[in-house]
Amino acid sequence: MESVQPRDELAARLMETPIATPFDYDEDGKQDGFLRLYHSRETNGYGYVPIPVISVKNGKGPTAFLVGGNHGNEYEGIVALMNLARDLEQASVQGRVIVLPSLNFPAVMAGTRSSPLDGSNLNRCFPGDAMGSPTHVIAHYVSSVLLPLADLVIDLHAGGRSSQFIPCALVREGRNEHETAKSARLADWFGAPISFVSKGKGGGGSLTLAGECARQAIPCLTAELGGGETLSQQGLKLAMDGVLRILSQCGILASTVPPTMTTTRWVKKGPDTRLHAHVAGIFEPRIELGEYVSPGRVAGLIHLPDFPMRKPEEVRFESSGYVLSRHVPALVGRGDELCTFVTDVIR
């Protein structure tokens, strides 16, 4: 893999965005600074939002673009990428690594999924809009400035406030089998306990960073590493080891011995892989993450504090699979997702 990016093209794209870049991505060396997203707000009319960015470049070679904090309350990726950015030395890199550990920085500092500046969920804003609200401007910068530089993208997530995941990796279906296979290879190297190919129909569809990568035919891995707004050691270790394995396997980390490869279990998502609450109440989960469940198995009970003498609602699985995530906290509203599960080994 070798990226060639004519400089005038990059300069033209930098002209389109209102975000100021602190250094030249084409410069060799280890550079760090803050993107400046100028944003006029009630408390500061002419200030900017700082978004941390680190670039480590050494000669020719592929570019990896590493993202944490796409959602602000998902912490394993943010910490893993700050650790990695501090440790990366120019001499050990062949090519380029661009790291944005807290991509939606306002959301990270607020501890929220979406931005406090405009209420927008960055991973539902792609490809973004240079003239839009702050979150759309960030998405546009990524789509128009950073993705054209990238040969591969790693986007690290977790379950945030509303769910807890078993560490897993997902890749989007490409426009053809060859493109899908290139992303799937990243998941093989990443080595999460569970990996699957997403058709991009659930969640954010094509408005996600992974969706934008699929449009631009850039291999992309999305990982879910934990959740519940805490920081899991298992997820953090996987993020750090998995990213190093990918950088090493694709030749960017030339002189670093990567952590031992682990084998991922490939599964697929069926057409209906979510259980929802049909009443509001207190959810008592009866399942563990990663557990294999069969049809009829009770996923949990929903207790009804308004009607203490009524029996709790039973929520059951209608098909079999591995439990991928479950809802946190216990209080659920009608329509909330309680659990996702995945089925069948495919590779």
CB of 113 to Zn ion, least distance (A): 7
Q: Is 327 in the site for Zn ion (CB under 5 A)?
A: no
What gap in Å lies between CA 59 and CA 221, rounded to an integer? Answer: 25
The answer to whether 69 touches 104, Cβ cutoff 8 Å, is yes
CB of 6 to Zn ion, least distance (A): 34
Stretch of residues binding Zn ion (CB under 5 A), selected from 50-58, 72-80, 101-109, 128-136: 72-80
Stretch of residues binding Zn ion (CB under 5 A), selected from 23-31, 65-73, 274-282, 311-319: 65-73
Fill in the DSSP letter of residue 71: S
CB of 315 to Zn ion, least distance (A): 24
Stretch of residues binding Zn ion (CB under 5 A), selected from 32-40, 64-72, 236-244, 280-288: 64-72
CB of 295 to Zn ion, least distance (A): 30
CB of 237 to Zn ion, least distance (A): 19
C-alpha pair distances (Å), 296 with each of 175, 267, 271, 281: 37, 21, 18, 21
Stretch of residues binding Zn ion (CB under 5 A), selected from 1-9, 102-110, 154-162, 263-271: 154-162
Cβ nearer to Zn ion, comparing 44 with 234: 234
Number of residues that bind Zn ion (CB under 5 A): 3
Q: Where are the beta strands (DSSP E) in 190-332?
A: 194-198, 220-224, 265-268, 274-276, 281-285, 292-293, 298-303, 313-316, 321-327, 331-332
Cβ nearer to Zn ion, comparing 62 with 69: 69
C-alpha pair distances (Å), 47 with each of 36, 39, 76, 145, 163: 9, 6, 29, 22, 35
Residues 6+ apart with CB under 8 A from 282: 302, 303, 305, 330, 331, 332
Residues 6+ apart with CB under 8 A from 182: 174, 219
Cβ nearer to Zn ion, comparing 55 with 73: 73
Q: Is 75 in the site for Zn ion (CB under 5 A)?
A: no
C-alpha pair distances (Å), 59 with each of 26, 28, 31, 218, 290: 9, 7, 14, 21, 42
Q: Is 157 in the site for Zn ion (CB under 5 A)?
A: yes
- Which SS3 state, helix, strand or coil, does residue 240 take? helix
Cβ nearer to Zn ion, comparing 157 with 172: 157
Cβ nearer to Zn ion, comparing 17 with 325: 325
Among 13, 71, 96, 172, binds Zn ion (CB under 5 A): 71
CB of 194 to Zn ion, least distance (A): 17
Residues that bind Zn ion (CB under 5 A): 71, 74, 157
